[in-house]
Amino acid sequence: MKTYLVTGGAGFIGSNFIHYIFDVHNGDVKVINVDLLTYAGNLENLADLEGNVNYSFIKADICDRDTISKIFAQNDIDYVVHFAAESHVDRSIRDPEIFARTNVIGTLNMLDCARYAWEEGEGFKEGKRFLHVSTDEVYGSLTEEGTYFYETTPYDPHSPYSASKASSDFMVKAYVDTYHFPAVITNCSNNYGPYQFPEKLIPLIINNVLTGKKLPVYGDGKNVRDWLYVMDHAKAIDMVLEKGRIGEKYNVGGHNEKQNIEIVKIIIDTIKEMLPDDDPRKAHINYDLITYVEDRKGHDRRYAIAPDKIKKEIGWEPDTMFAEGIKLTIRWYFEHTEWMEHVTSGNYQKYYEEMYK
């Protein structure tokens, strides 16, 4: 039975990954979830695992060396899957320091604690893996149609968020090159799906459509992103852990490039299609809700991932095209209105702050 240490496992992608590995491996895994439970970490995402003897949660800061070292000392960790990060570009523009602390210093602390725990002689114990989850935003912005980000694309980050993630990627690479540390890096495109915090585009638009609020769109709305259904991403991470080559990086993309304004209109149309005819909200859902707002500072124009390497070496490719994935996502939010109410009100944070203070 493999033991996974998942950082940021109460967040959007982390919680979906934990669900995925329990399902795919028929529960024959042990998961230790380390999360500080900041605004985007929500243990409601994993409520169905409470009481599972193979799952445990530890509230901790990844920058806290004593606590992280103790976790390694008390458990025989096989895999570290490092999701924990500050990830919202707008927040990084307002407060870049916290992004540098969590994303760079936190990653360095995780690497060093794992290095000391896994060292054996001149190398490392057999079968250990550290997977660092990163982003396509480290590559900067594509200006020409038909071009893509490859693993060899030079880094060119444009926001404090992407700069902090680029720095953390380089720290992982330095540990591989210096210590021959058993790490791999994945760089993914924009994720969407269940449990995503509603400051991100897709859950924000879904929530605003359903509650009759305006739908804010930056600039002219023609910024392009490549969209990846979160369970496809979870599958990619699981496969890279098992088959990825040490020291390599793998781009994980969804083959779903769309302008932001397209995404907003697709959500409007899909929600209208999915709501029953007698739902009173249906009459008020239209494109008039769209409101163009001042563009984000340093807003990259286009991202597009080329996942050729991960397909060739590991055999992964996305299973979920956007037309299917957005319906799955909207249906999930339809069925979890209480979750959305808790998240947008902040009530869940107060509850868990009391539980873990």
Q: Catalytic residue numbers? A: 136-137, 161
Residues 114/80, Cβ–Cβ less than 8 Å? yes
- With b meaning 16 or more CB within 10 Å and e meaning fewer, what string describes 245-282? eebbbbbbbbbbbbbbbebbbbbbebbeeebeeeeeee
Distance, in Å, from the CA atom of 116 to the CA atom of 118, rounded to the nearest integer, reads: 6
Q: Which amino acid, residue 145?
A: E
In terms of DSSP bridges, do strands 129-135 and 190-192 run parallel, antiparallel, or are they unpaired?
unpaired
Alpha helices in the chain (DSSP H): 12-24, 65-74, 89-94, 96-99, 106-118, 160-179, 201-211, 230-243, 260-274, 308-314, 322-335, 337-345, 347-356
Distance, in Å, from the CA atom of 69 to the CA atom of 115, rounded to the nearest integer, reads: 10
Residues 153/169, Cβ–Cβ less than 8 Å? no
Distance, in Å, from the CA atom of 272 to the CA atom of 327, rounded to the nearest integer, reads: 11
DSSP 172-214: HHHHHHHH---EEEEEE-EEESTT--TTSHHHHHHHHHHHT--
Number of other CB atoms surrounding residue 127 within 10 Å:
10
